[in-house]
Amino acid sequence: MKQSQPNTQNIYSQAAVDAFTKLNPQSALQNPVMLLVWLGIIVTLILTITPNLFGEIPSQNPRLFNGLVTFILLVTIYAGNLGEAIAEAQGKAQANKLRSLKSETIAKKLAADGTITEVPSNTLQRGDTVYVVAGDIIPADGEVILGVGSVDESAIIGESAPVLKESGSEVASSVTEGTRIISDELIICVTADPGQGFIDRMIALMEGETRRKTPNEMALQAFLAVMALIFLFVVVTLPAFAFYLQLPISATILVALLVSLMPTTIAALFNTISIAGIERIANSNVIANSRDAERCVDVNTLVIDKTGTITLGNRLAEDFIPINGHSQSEVAALAMAASVFDDTPEGKSIIRLADKLGAKIDFDPQRCEAVYFSTSTRMSGTNLPNGSQVRKGALVAIKKFVADQNQKLSPEVNIACERVALQGGTPLVVCLDGEIYGIIYLKDIVKPGIRDRFYRLQRLGIYTIMVTGDNTTTAGVISREAGIDDFIAEATPEDKITVIRQQQAAGKLVAMTGEGNNDAPALAQANIGLAMNTGTQAAKSAAKMVDLDSDPTKFIDIVAIGKQLLMTRGALTTFSITNDIAKYFAILPILFTTLNLGRFNLMQLSSTNSAVLSVLIYNAIAIFCFIPLALRGIKFRPMSANQIFQSHLLIYGLGGAIVPFVAIKLIDIAVTAVGLA
C-alpha cells in the first residue's frame, strides 16, 4: 500500500517489547537450530545453579562462566526474535492504517422495490445492492451496475487523481471498500462477504494470518535441520574422545561449541526474511503471498491481454471514415444507430462523437431490437422497425454478415481498415444490411514507459506473448510499440487458454495478466495469474494475485521480490556456513591444547573460557548486524544464477570466513580486559 510510513520509533519500541514476549521455547518448535539453542540454555542454566551436576570440572568461578554463557545464548535468541518482531510490527502498523479505512460506516442498502434502508456496512452480504452519492464512503467491494461517478482511491492505491467508475465497463466498474465517491452517484452490487474484501485480504497478508511456507523455505529448513543434527552428533561424541585423551570438557563448553558451529545466523533470521518479503509485496500494492512471489522467479512465459493492460483500455471513437461513396455524416448516423443499445464506454464514445457531428436517429429505439456484442459474433447493432439490420463490428465478422446477405465486399474496406490498424487503432466496420458505409476509428493508447518495462522482463529471461481480439495489423503495431516478443491476433477467450496450455505442455511455467471477464478462464489456467484491480470481480477471483495499481509489468517487481527472498536467504546461509571456519580455529585448538594443537590457535586467544565467550558474543552480534539486511533484502540486479552464486561466494563467503577472525580476536581482548574470563 502506498501510504505514509508508520512511526519508526514506535515500531522499534514495540518490537523490542515483543521480542521479549517471544522468549518462549515453544516458539522455536518449528526451527530445529533455534530449538537446540533453547535446549542448550536449559542445560547451562541448570549448570549455573548446580555447576558440578555432571562431575567436578576444574574451572575458576564456574557459576559466573555458566551464567554468562546462558545470558549470551538468551541474547542470541532475542536477536532473532527482534528481527522477526520488527518485521511483524511494520506489517501490523500498515495493517492498522488499512483497518482505519474499514471503520464501520452506514450503507444505503437498496431493496428490490427501490426503497433505501440504512444498515451498518459490516452487515452487507455478497449480492446486496447499495446506493452511494458524492461524499459517501464506499461500504464494500463491488461492481457498479448503474451510474457514472468519480471515485477517490488514493487511500488504496496512493494516486490522488480521481478514477471514473461506470457501469458496463470491464475496466472501470470495480470499486473497493474504504474509497470515497466524490461526484455524482452510483448503484453498486456487493461482491464480497464481510471479512473477504480486498482490504481484509491485505490486512490478513500483512499480519501473517494466511502465511504458508514456500517450497524453498521448507527445503532450506530441512537443510538447516540436517546440519544441526550433524553438528549435534559431532558434539555428542566429543566427550568420549576427550575421556580417552583424559581432557576434561564441561557440558557448558559442549553447548557453546554446538551453538557456535550451527548456522544460527540464517536460522535466527529465517522468519524475518520471509515476513519482510511479504511486506515488500504488499508495499508494491500487490495482494499476494511469498509462495506466489517465489514461484514467479521460475516463470518462463508471460501471456498478456492488450486492452487495459498494455494499453490504457479506454478505447474511444476518434473518427468516422466513409467508404463506397458515402459521406461522413451518413457513417456517423449509422454508427449512432448501431450503438443505441451499446452501454460500453466504446459505444457511448461513438454516440458522443456522432452527436458532436450533428448525427440523429430517425426511429424509436423502443420499437427496435437490440443485438448485443458477444465473443463469438464479435459485432453488435440494432434491428430497425422497418426490418433493416444495422451492425458494427470487427472486419472478419462484418465480412461474414455481408456474405450472408449475398453482397460483395469492396476492396476499399480492407484498405481503410489497414490504414486505421497501421496507426495502432481498432477499426469497426459499419454496415446497413449488406452494404458497408464506413469505418469507426477506435483509438487506444499504449501505457507510458511500458516498452522499457517489457525490456526488463526480457532481461529476466521471460518471453512475452500478447493475446488480443484485434486484427493482425493492429496487434503487430501495438506489440512493436510496447516491445512484446510475440502476439496472437483475433483471439477468442478459448485461444488464450490454448496458448497457455501449449506453453505449459512445452514445460514452461506460465504467468498471465488480465482484467476482463473473458480473461478469467485464462487467469485460472495459468500457473500464476495476476489480475488488474481495474478489472472485473471474475478476473480478480480467478487470479492468484491482484495488482492494485493495474500495471501489467508489475510482474517485474514481484519477480524481483521473489529473487530478493532467495538471494537474501542464500547470502546469509553462505555467511553462516563459512563462519564455522573461524569458529573452529577459535575453540577447538585451545580446547585440545595438550594435543599440541596450539599452532592452530591463529587468533592467539587468551583462554578456553575467553574463546568460548568471544565466539558466542560474536554469534549474537552477527545476528543483530544482519537484521537490517534481512528486513530490506539484498538489492536485486538482473543477472544469471551463476553470477549470483559467484557474487555471494565472494562477498558473503569470503567475508564470512575473514570477518570472524578479526571480530572474535577483538572481543577476546575486551573480555579478558574486563576480567570475564
Query: What is the set of active-site residues?
Result: 305
**Do 602 and 661 touch, CB atoms closer than 8 A?**
yes
Q: Long-range pairs for 114-123 at CB < 8 Å and ≥24 separation?
A: 121/177, 122/194, 123/194
Is residue 369 packed enough to be buried (19+ CB in 10 Å), middle (13-18) or exposed (0-12)? exposed
Query: Residue 140 contacts by C-beta under 8 Å, 6 or more apart in sequence?
Result: 107, 121, 124, 128, 130, 177, 188, 190, 191, 192, 197
Give whole-number Cα distances, 35 to 19, 20, 22, 42, in Å.
16, 17, 13, 11
Return the C-alpha cell found at 612: 568460548
User: End-to-end distance of the chain based on CA atoms, in angstroms?
Assistant: 51
Sheet holding 286-287, edge to edge: 286-287, 545-547, 528-532, 510-514, 301-305, 463-467, 486-488
Comparing C-alpha atoms, which of 552, 446, 535 is closest to residue 165?
Answer: 535
d(CA 338, CA 332) in angstroms, rounded, equals 10
**Do 583 and 568 touch, CB atoms closer than 8 A?**
no
**Do 578 and 650 touch, CB atoms closer than 8 A?**
no
Helix (H) / strand (E) containing 318: strand 316-322
d(CA 537, CA 544) in angstroms, rounded, equals 13
Helix (H) / strand (E) containing 84: helix 62-101
d(CA 286, CA 558) in angstroms, rounded, equals 8
The amino acid at 586: A
Residue the block writes with cell 561424541: 237
Comparing C-alpha atoms, which of 172, 83, 63 is closest to residue 629?
Answer: 83
**Do 281 and 289 touch, CB atoms closer than 8 A?**
yes
Helix (H) / strand (E) containing 302: strand 301-305
Alpha helices in 357-484 (DSSP H): 395-404, 411-422, 450-459, 472-482
The amino acid at 674: V
Helix (H) / strand (E) containing 144: strand 142-152
d(CA 616, CA 619) in angstroms, rounded, equals 5
Is residue 236 packed enough to be buried (19+ CB in 10 Å), middle (13-18) or exposed (0-12)? exposed
